[in-house]
Amino acid sequence: MAETPRQPTRSGTPPWPDEFAARYTAAGYWDGRSLGEHLYAAADLRPDTVCLVDGDVRLTFAQLMARADGAALRLRALGLRADDRVILQLANCWEFVAMTVACLRLGVVPVMALPANRRQEIAAVAAHVQAVALIVPTSTRDFDLQAMAAEIAAEQDGIAHVLVLGDKVLPGHVDVTALLAPAEDPAAARARLDATPPAGQDVALFLMTGGTTGMPKLVARTHDDFGFMARRAAEICQVGPGSVYLAALPLGHGFPMSGPGVLGTLMAGGRAVIAATPAPERAFPLIARERVTLTSLVPAIIQRWLEYRESDPDTDLSSLLAIQSGGARLPEHVTRGVEPVLGCRLQQVYGMSEGLLCLTRPDDPDEVVWHTQGRPICVDDELVLVDEDGEPAPAGAPGVLLTRGPYTPRGYYRAEGLNAHSHAGGWYRTGDIVRIRPDGNVVVEGRDKDVINRGGEKIPAEEIENVAHQLPGVRMAAAVAMPDAELGERICLYAVAHTGHQVTLDDVRNAMETVGLARFKLPERLVLVGELPVTNVGKIDKKALRSDIAQRIAAEAA
Ligand code: AMP
């Protein structure tokens, strides 16, 4: 099969119109400098300060940059060039950060994947971005990602390399540990890479977000937009050279990378500590040892931290100034618990891979921190609320949030049909139903998108339904969120079986695993019914199903 010529990354995403680009540049949000240049600016001020910690590994700024530059030049020697796309699917570790910086220095564009992603998702994304390399660990828990990557690479002509982190790198694959050895002559390596930095408006990386057919949607974030967001978030969070950020959520998510996350912290001259998991048993001793000042979590994990603190009241968490909560709505009783139980401020975060970031501020009164998800980080973030017909919602009333601004790209990557709806007129339609208070703070009240938010991981219902419909026994299927004390929501599948057929939860889960979808997308309950309720326009009535499952769960608990 003839290979399709590789397209420039920029050509796949609708650009910000010139007048907006000019405005954002004039305002100083976009400064035309790559993330690598910004990282070096921070590193040059304190080359010998430790900036990245993972277990026993402690890298200074100079060491991190020497390793990243070494890897960048070795990637170049392998044939990778600026604007090539790679899939970066590593668990949380210092190598994840160093490989990201290597890509940013060379101008190679990483797609930030999750260790939980499986064959269908990675293969679809790799084909969509015309990836030239896959970067994976040897294995995660019970799954061999190296074997998966090898299979995908064998099927896709354009994938020239599988890069592997771990101790059982198969012949023919590239060893990431060796790749990340420091450049032999760091100054010379730096000079070579400095000669051709990516432009500010070049795509720096891709974030992945749920798609409906096993094909995640991709958000192309530029050096200008992503860097601005991370730096502005760091400023608002008062992150500076004395700050220690604990990265405990999967680094493939934008939140721990840029809200301010690892990148915002490093650019501000602070230190990032990498945790393999956010479990309090592991995180608390790390906070004490590394004197962590800030971390970001999802509500389900915050609840676990609060509960765990009762059994472990003595680990020294006194360095912690704030915990950010984002990805899903934090129940109000939890918001109030953070400060008394963990001894630090709560910061609510409402953000999305697609751009917009709202934060409560460190000096906001409790009332704002408890009851709102904060306000946009930039005065040029524009927020508009519309009703079901797309008409402006009355002042003060909730509506579906549309947004645009200096770090909210104008569309998904190579998705013209989708963008006509998701980014009509240049406004990103969040699908979130929010209220904007007179003080400018946003309150997320619900959503009008058919997505299940399982502890911060978003799963489009249609993705589950598509697989369920392929089972011979299934006549109709509808996935909905069921309330869950731990994760906020879990996935429940309603199904109507064909007469004479049996369908079990295992059938559905096995089918999804066989197709190659991430485990967090598998439904955790199946309800077989004779008919699915429909609305008066004939659509499946998901509202009725959500209330049905909530009632069933309440009745079982009673
Ligand atoms: P993602 O792109 O995976 O980060 O998901 C973004 C979506 O997560 C948003 O559009 C919201 O639906 C949801 N979300 C993020 N933060 C919050 C929050 N603080 N409260 C409620 N929903 C949130």
Can you tell me whether residue 289 is helix, strand or coil?
helix
Can you tell me whether residue 341 is helix, strand or coil?
helix
Separation of 226 CA from ligand 1 center, angstroms? 17
512, part of any domain: yes
For residue 3, the model assigns a pLDDT of: 55
For residue 4, the model assigns a pLDDT of: 67
Q: Whose CA is nearest to atom 9 of ligand 1?
A: 352
Instruction: Report the C-alpha gap between 547 and 330 in whole angstroms.
Output: 21
481 and 441 inside one domain = no
Can you tell me whether residue 466 is helix, strand or coil?
helix
Separation of 341 CA from ligand 1 center, angstroms? 25
Provide CB contacts within 8 A for 149, sequence distance 6+: 89, 122, 134, 136, 162, 164
Separation of 540 CA from ligand 1 center, angstroms? 25
Pocket test for ligand 1, best of 301, 332, 435, 453 (most atoms within 8 A of CB): 453
Separation of 352 CA from ligand 1 center, angstroms? 6
| DSSP assigned state of 141 | T
- The string of DSSP letters for 241-307 reads TT-EEEE-S-TTSHHHHHSSHHHHHHHTT-EEEE-S---HHHHHHHHHHHT--EEEE-HHHHHHHHH
Provide CB contacts within 8 A for 244, sequence distance 6+: 270, 271, 272, 273, 290, 291, 292, 293, 294, 319
Q: Whose CA is nearest to atom 12 of ligand 1?
A: 432
Q: Whose CA is nearest to atom 8 of ligand 1?
A: 327
552 and 465 inside one domain = yes
Instruction: Report the C-alpha gap between 242 and 40 in whole angstroms.
Output: 18
CB count within 10 Å of CB 536 equals 6
For residue 140, the model assigns a pLDDT of: 73
The answer to whether the beta carbons of residues 66 and 98 sit under 8 Å apart is no
539 and 458 inside one domain = yes
Which residue type occupies 127?
A
End-to-end distance of the chain based on CA atoms, in angstroms? 61
The answer to whether the beta carbons of residues 332 and 247 sit under 8 Å apart is no
Give CA angle at 153 (218, 254), nearest 5°: 25
Classify residue 99 by burial, with Cβ atoms within 10 Å: 0-12, 13-18, 19+: buried
Note the helical H segments in 6-144: 18-26, 35-45, 61-78, 94-106, 119-129
Instruction: Report the C-alpha gap between 474 and 467 in whole angstroms.
Output: 10
HEC states along 159-189? Answer: CCEEEEECCCCCCCCEEHHHHCCCCCCHHHH
Residue 410's domain comprises: 382-447
For residue 1, the model assigns a pLDDT of: 42
404 and 490 inside one domain = no
The answer to whether the beta carbons of residues 218 and 125 sit under 8 Å apart is yes
477 and 398 inside one domain = no
119, part of any domain: no
476, part of any domain: yes
Which residue type occupies 358?
C
The answer to whether the beta carbons of residues 120 and 173 sit under 8 Å apart is no
Q: Quick one: which H or E segment has residue 248?
A: none
Separation of 326 CA from ligand 1 center, angstroms? 7
Q: Whose CA is nearest to atom 7 of ligand 1?
A: 352
468 and 517 inside one domain = yes
393: domain CATH number?
2.30.38.10
Q: Whose CA is nearest to atom 1 of ligand 1?
A: 352
The answer to whether the beta carbons of residues 207 and 356 sit under 8 Å apart is no
Instruction: Report the C-alpha gap between 251 and 237 in whole angstroms.
Output: 19
462 and 520 inside one domain = yes
Among candidate residues 358, 366, 295, 361, the one with its CA nearest the CA of residue 329? 358
Note the Cα 539 to chain centre separation in Å: 31
Which residue type occupies 329?
R
| Ligand 1 atom nearest to 430, measured from its CA | 10
Ligand 1 pocket list (CB less than 6 A): 209, 326-329, 348-353, 373, 430, 432, 444, 447, 458
Pocket test for ligand 1, best of 253, 348, 432, 452 (most atoms within 8 A of CB): 432
- The string of DSSP letters for 399-428 reads EEEEEEBTTB-SS-TT-HHHHHHHTGGG-E
The answer to whether the beta carbons of residues 37 and 197 sit under 8 Å apart is yes
Among candidate residues 356, 448, 354, 441, the one with its CA nearest the CA of residue 399? 448
516, part of any domain: yes
For residue 388, the model assigns a pLDDT of: 85
| Ligand 1 atom nearest to 349, measured from its CA | 19
Instruction: Report the C-alpha gap between 85 and 91 in whole angstroms.
Output: 19
Separation of 168 CA from ligand 1 center, angstroms? 37
439 and 481 inside one domain = no
79, part of any domain: no
CB count within 10 Å of CB 196 equals 9
457 and 552 inside one domain = yes
**Beta strands per DSSP E along 286-354:** 294-297, 322-325, 345-352
Separation of 47 CA from ligand 1 center, angstroms? 36
Instruction: Report the C-alpha gap between 232 and 230 in whole angstroms.
Output: 6
Separation of 322 CA from ligand 1 center, angstroms? 20
Provide CB contacts within 8 A for 546, sequence distance 6+: 480, 481, 482
549: domain CATH number?
3.30.300.30
Number of domains in the chain: 2
500 and 487 inside one domain = yes
| Ligand 1 atom nearest to 447, measured from its CA | 12
Instruction: Report the C-alpha gap between 546 and 535 in whole angstroms.
Output: 14
509 and 480 inside one domain = yes
468 and 511 inside one domain = yes
* Residue where a domain terminates, one of 447, 469, 499: 447
Q: Whose CA is nearest to atom 19 of ligand 1?
A: 350
For residue 278, the model assigns a pLDDT of: 97
Instruction: Report the C-alpha gap between 189 and 63 in whole angstroms.
Output: 13
For residue 202, the model assigns a pLDDT of: 97
| Ligand 1 atom nearest to 207, measured from its CA | 2
For residue 2, the model assigns a pLDDT of: 46
326, part of any domain: no
495, part of any domain: yes
80, part of any domain: no
- pLDDT string in tens for the chain (558-residue length): 445 677 889 999 999 999 999 999 999 999 999 999 999 999 999 999 999 999 999 999 999 999 999 999 999 999 999 999 999 999 999 999 999 999 999 999 999 999 999 999 999 999 999 999 999 999 777 899 999 999 999 999 999 999 999 999 999 999 999 999 999 999 999 999 999 999 999 999 999 998 777 689 999 999 999 999 999 999 999 999 999 999 999 999 999 999 999 999 999 999 999 999 999 999 999 999 999 999 999 999 999 999 999 999 999 999 999 999 999 999 999 999 999 999 999 999 999 999 999 999 999 999 999 999 999 999 999 999 999 888 999 988 999 999 999 999 999 999 999 999 999 999 999 999 999 999 999 999 999 999 999 999 999 999 999 999 999 999 999 999 999 999 999 999 999 999 999 999 999 999 999 999 999 999 999 999 999 999 988 899 999 999 999 999 999 988
* Residue where a domain terminates, one of 423, 447, 471: 447
Instruction: Report the C-alpha gap between 190 and 187 in whole angstroms.
Output: 5
Separation of 350 CA from ligand 1 center, angstroms? 6
| Ligand 1 atom nearest to 354, measured from its CA | 2
Note the Cα 32 to chain centre separation in Å: 24
Helix, strand, coil percentages, rounded to 5, for the chain: 35, 25, 40
For residue 227, the model assigns a pLDDT of: 98
Cis geometry, peptide bond prior to residue 260 (ω within 30 degrees of 0):
yes
| DSSP assigned state of 250 | -
* Residue where a domain terminates, one of 412, 447, 482: 447
